Amino acid sequence: GQALLKQGIEDLKLVTRRYARRQQRWIRNRFIRRTDRQ
């Protein structure tokens, strides 16, 4: 049970990191487009 829990935590970290990276890229793209417009 302990190994399974550890694996689940590692998977969650990986997914969270991937999601955060995608979110940062989206925010950066929006910000760049907004500054280009001015």
- Tens-digit pLDDT profile for residues 1-38: 999 999 999 999 999 999 999 999 999 999 887 766 65
Angle (nearest 5°) at CA 16 between 2 and 19: 155
What pLDDT does 31 receive?
A: 86
Amino acid letter, 8: G
What pLDDT does 12 receive?
A: 96
What pLDDT does 33 receive?
A: 78
Number of domains into which the chain is organized: 1
Instruction: Give the span between the Cα atoms of 36 and 38, in whole angstroms.
Output: 6
What pLDDT does 25 receive?
A: 95
Task: State which residues form the domain around 10.
Answer: 1-38
